[in-house]
Structure 1
């Protein structure tokens, strides 16, 4: 898509030189900084003032080693990320105020970060050739957060160079030296970083555009040599092509909506960097795939901050409002831009807060804030969505509103990026409130991405809305998949059916398990889950699982009531002659999950009463 079209002998002629590349105003160019809304100025100056005379948090060797010793990656990661967020806050505060109050603290922050042995995090140290509890300073790997750090320092250099030079020319020279050694040279000289996609030993995911976007920023802002700069642009386009070619044509993100922010979102960052440095000549925004990638996020939107979450995505996603808005404007999609505008108007200046310290997202969020305030666009509440590549469907009761029932369901296979064993999984919301849910994922540890991943309960099918047959769960691997997948949509119906038998190992002794998941939009709307199964032998060890954040009210055989704090309520009806119902509480100790669901989740279990080897069973969920 990119390299075949734009890697030509004339590429260097269409790229702005470093001196002529002016994506945003620097601190000397006061017009846009001074016209920024007062609420933003106050908010970001307040952030900066909180860091005046700042004692930068210490990062120790033992904090780093805690990952190899205990599996904990929170302690080190949190301090590392805080340093970068604090530096970004100080930089923006100084650019807004322009009085020099924050410069000394900025210099201290730059110096602290440049003194770090490794700009990445312990969980990504596996990329180093020599494995040790501490990072190898001689092995300059590029991973997510080393690239993020390089971009942050490069933007700091770009925005504040003249002010920093007044303090000491060594500050900007140090930035240039460290970024060149740690990022620019390895990026040009090595092709063995798996995320680049030149050696296909690993499946590409969000790492590719995420790392590329930050490396490209560093090159465009810091690299003086035109040939090296051009070579970096070429390599970025070639690497991005490796990623783009594995994406599904439907634009679906198999990593879930949270990772769309770092997959599709950082791909958009890359495309914007290329578009800007070429004066709009590198432009692929009319490509159907790029447009579909953007549209995924509103097709997965439920209500408020809830999105249809599968894989490692949280149910609550804090999207970058301005990026969503700008992506929609680029592809001329008023729903996408409308979603971004809607989020900003709810969060106000809080919409400019970012999880990490990405200046290439923060700066346009500040400068486009007023424009977005006056934009309406179109409603992002679409009635039906289907992604045939990742086999995910979504349906709501009515177009343009979160009122009524909402259903999302998936097929796919159990070797997706950030995979959970969840073939046949579905979720149900009522009036925008979660009722039957996907738990999502907890805080990452050393188990999260390696051989012990599926010992974590959130990854297991037993904690998804799926059958357990003869005590056997689904297994991980591409061979464990949905077959005979069919999606159907009409005015009164949205449905997905599949055979999930192949998602289970032979020990489950399943011949066939046809699961049909439907939203009926008739006079009495309901969601229907129909399981038609045939087993290899008679058994009474069959259970259907339903996960919910609400204590189930089990009062009458054949029905269960779920109710949230706002009195949204659904009733679940099942065959009381076939199943006996029970529930158990899953206490949530993980802070990430508690922020979404509270103190606990509940697992409802419908267990067969009599032995059987085949049956049809139906669960109906309706608003109560």
Structure 2
């Protein structure tokens, strides 16, 4: 009996050792034991990561009440559970990063407690909005964004500190590997996944986490790894094929980080693994045309930048956003260094590198990296942060420069962006069937010196209603709270059939002009047969001009503005930052009222200071013109 137990132990030891050796073949950057992290990361940065880890040394690892999970099905609230869920991941990621930077074992007991929490106290690693029942069941594993993110976070912690974890508690590493496979890797390859067929952030976001987790957790050369690579490549090819050639993210600039950037993240990992563990049929080589598309996808975030980290926020995006430099810089560096024969791609890469360096300077990254680290997602993203730190010398040498768009047109999304030293104007056509749609065909925004004048409300806190049949009862998703007309008391409707027509964009030395017909964005009961809108940045006269030519009755043109307007004189309304709205008072009346916003993200980002202007023709006319101007 004793001999049999000894043989069994030896067999298990050999299998475990063989898997550990195989897993170590994926080596995108040094492990925690390597002196790189203590020698190449400056002392001030290391101390800041360690300080953050110390904050969570006495962290709570209590179970989240089941009632918090059930709350989403009960009343639509997803925030309460997510706050507790994300906190536990935040503290775990911070503890791991602190141990990597100090490497004295001080944080290892808490890291092991954290692993036990995830293995024993959460039956599922996702969030209630993505689970089919009110209560999670450990035997029913569903692949969602946060199940994927959690698996990836745990996998990176094992990659960096696996040996050290086993030194504290033998077998904990392998048990964690096993749970990652059961909860995430196996369901991804064995069950039908709807997100694999969709070209939105779910595809690229989950795929990047699935690929990283597979490369770390699956033994090199195993059937499981080959299957994971097949699945990943199929998802990536579907995503890239379906993505618009102009590189635009229809979900909004806020999703760039998890759409285009996550796609790049997968490319980066495949290239990191290529030399050591990938067969030639899994190298995923891009064609020249695909490389150009990937560059356009990277450029999108720079194109939408207004200034001072404000962004054109069509769709579900916040106006104030901090790009994640731990993926932006690697994206730029890859474009800049891998395309020596393609200057246009190199230029995009350089711009992203300089943008990342600008953000780093703005947030004092080289002394207090924890500020940006904490902003890199719903909780800090370990893999991306390690990726950036492995390139730290290159980042520190990069010139810091924020992008300023002068002329851009995204032909597929039908978005125009034009700017000069005083103005930035952006306008959109497109459809009302876009992912994260807001019923806003023809809407536009105006900024003066990167300060808001005419705005888009953007996104608010997500609830069950946000992605339900009642989505368009929320004010930030309704056309009457965008800069488009209300026609015969009727708003725009949702669906691909509601879209812009006759879209044109022209550029000259004196003007950038965007023209479209938005009549088709309205249902028949609006009674509109034509509505041609022209939005122009008049460079010669240094103003923004809008003209409306239409065949419709009972018209109100809505303008959402930041700050309370004031009547300066007849035909001139004073807006924020000294901008004047000039209109024909003989033809048009003007009125305004404060917008009552629900408590939450949207109200906070606009300082509860948004007003809705209504321009209304006095008689039955077929055209209205107005402009925005200011003293230079």
The question of a shared fold, defined as TM-score above 0.5 by the shorter chain, is answered with yes
Instruction: Give, in whole Å, the separation in 1 of the partners of 2:422 and 2:350.
Output: 24
1:259 Cα deviation from its structure 2 partner: 0.5
Change (3 A) 1:550 1:285: farther
Which residue does 1:464 correspond to in 2? 482
1:384 Cα deviation from its structure 2 partner: 0.4
1:292 Cα deviation from its structure 2 partner: 0.8
Identify unmatched segments of 5+ residues in structure 1: 1-15, 127-131, 198-202, 398-402
Contact 2:358 2:401 survives alignment (8 Å):
no
Alignment of structure 1 residues 31-50 onto 2, 5 Å: 31-50=36-55
Of the three residues 530, 545, 555, the one matched with 2:568 is 555
Of the three residues 205, 212, 217, the one matched with 1:217 is 212
Alignment of 1:244 with 2:240, yes or no, is: yes
Which residue does 2:630 correspond to in 1? 623
Q: Name the count of aligned residue pairs.
A: 582
Cα deviation, 1:381-427, whole Å, max 9, x if unaligned, reads 13101000000010002xxxxx3011000000001011110000000
1:594 Cα deviation from its structure 2 partner: 3.3
Instruction: Give, in whole Å, the separation in 2 of the partners of 1:300 and 1:621.
Output: 21
Match of 2:464, SS state, is: coil
Cα deviation, 1:346-381, whole Å, max 9, x if unaligned, reads 112233332233222111233333431221176621
Which residue does 1:76 correspond to in 2? 81
Cα deviation, 1:420-443, whole Å, max 9, x if unaligned, reads 100000000001111100000110
Which residue does 2:556 correspond to in 1? 543
Contact 1:572 1:621 survives alignment (8 Å):
yes
1:555 Cα deviation from its structure 2 partner: 3.2
Match of 1:394, SS state, is: strand
Instruction: Give, in whole Å, the separation in 1 of the partners of 2:335 and 2:617.
Output: 51
Instruction: Give, in whole Å, the separation in 2 of the partners of 1:555 and 1:231.
Output: 68
Which residue does 1:5 correspond to in 2? none
Instruction: Give, in whole Å, the separation in 1 of the partners of 2:226 and 2:38.
Output: 31
Cα deviation, 1:471-521, whole Å, max 9, x if unaligned, reads 110000000000010111122211111110000011110010000111010
1:344 Cα deviation from its structure 2 partner: 1.0
Cα deviation, 1:321-355, whole Å, max 9, x if unaligned, reads 23212212211232122111111111122333322
Change (3 A) 1:334 1:94: same
Which residue does 2:15 correspond to in 1? none
Instruction: Give, in whole Å, the separation in 2 of the partners of 1:347 and 1:268.
Output: 24
Which residue does 1:387 correspond to in 2? 410
Structure with a larger share of its residues in helix: 2
Contact 2:355 2:402 survives alignment (8 Å):
yes
Contact 1:285 1:331 survives alignment (8 Å):
no
Match of 1:382, SS state, is: coil
Match of 2:131, SS state, is: helix
Which residue does 2:58 correspond to in 1? 53
Match of 1:543, SS state, is: strand
Of the three residues 455, 467, 474, the one matched with 2:492 is 474
Alignment of 1:114 with 2:119, yes or no, is: yes
Alignment of 1:533 with 2:537, yes or no, is: no
Cα deviation, 1:22-81, whole Å, max 9, x if unaligned, reads 112212112233321223112111110001132225411100011011110000011111
1:283 Cα deviation from its structure 2 partner: 4.6
Contact 1:405 1:622 survives alignment (8 Å):
no
Alignment of structure 1 residues 131-170 onto 2, 5 Å: 132-170=133-171
Match of 2:575, SS state, is: strand
Instruction: Give, in whole Å, the separation in 1 of the partners of 2:482 and 2:37.
Output: 50
Which residue does 1:10 correspond to in 2? none
Alignment of 1:204 with 2:205, yes or no, is: no
Match of 1:496, SS state, is: strand
Of the three residues 93, 106, 110, the one matched with 1:105 is 110
Higher mean alpha-carbon deviation, 614-623 vs 459-468, is at 614-623
Alignment of structure 1 residues 219-234 onto 2, 5 Å: 219-224=214-219, 226-234=222-230
Instruction: Give, in whole Å, the separation in 2 of the partners of 1:207 and 1:363.
Output: 23
Which residue does 1:347 correspond to in 2? 363
Change (3 A) 1:99 1:267: same
Kindly report the root-mean-square deviation, in angstroms, between the aligned alpha carbons of the 2 structures.
1.7
Contact 1:335 1:377 survives alignment (8 Å):
no
Which residue does 1:505 correspond to in 2? 523
Instruction: Give, in whole Å, the separation in 1 of the partners of 2:318 and 2:22.
Output: 41
Match of 1:448, SS state, is: helix
1:254 Cα deviation from its structure 2 partner: 0.8
1:174 Cα deviation from its structure 2 partner: 2.0
Match of 1:602, SS state, is: strand
Change (3 A) 1:309 1:483: same
Contact 1:334 1:378 survives alignment (8 Å):
no
Match of 1:510, SS state, is: coil
Cα deviation, 1:576-602, whole Å, max 9, x if unaligned, reads 122211111123343311342112311
Instruction: Give, in whole Å, the separation in 2 of the partners of 1:415 and 1:342.
Output: 35
Change (3 A) 1:282 1:478: closer
Which residue does 2:131 correspond to in 1? 125
Instruction: Give, in whole Å, the separation in 2 of the partners of 1:150 and 1:206.
Output: 18
Change (3 A) 1:234 1:422: same
Of the three residues 414, 434, 448, the one matched with 1:430 is 448
Match of 1:447, SS state, is: helix
Instruction: Give, in whole Å, the separation in 2 of the partners of 1:345 and 1:468.
Output: 44
Alignment of 1:587 with 2:587, yes or no, is: no
Contact 1:396 1:405 survives alignment (8 Å):
yes
Which residue does 1:284 correspond to in 2? 286
Instruction: Give, in whole Å, the separation in 2 of the partners of 1:27 and 1:329.
Output: 24
Alignment of 1:183 with 2:184, yes or no, is: yes
Cα deviation, 1:164-217, whole Å, max 9, x if unaligned, reads 111112321221121011111112212x211111xxxxx431000100111111
Which residue does 2:611 correspond to in 1? 602
Alignment of structure 1 residues 259-338 onto 2, 5 Å: 259-279=255-275, 282-284=284-286, 287-332=291-336, 333-338=349-354
Contact 1:430 1:569 survives alignment (8 Å):
no
Match of 1:296, SS state, is: helix
Higher mean alpha-carbon deviation, 164-173 vs 71-80, is at 164-173
Contact 2:373 2:381 survives alignment (8 Å):
no
Which residue does 1:517 correspond to in 2? 535
Instruction: Give, in whole Å, the separation in 2 of the partners of 1:331 and 1:138.
Output: 43
Identify unmatched segments of 5+ residues in structure 2: 1-20, 277-282, 337-348
Which residue does 2:67 correspond to in 1? 62
Match of 2:264, SS state, is: helix
Instruction: Give, in whole Å, the separation in 2 of the partners of 1:294 and 1:442.
Output: 25
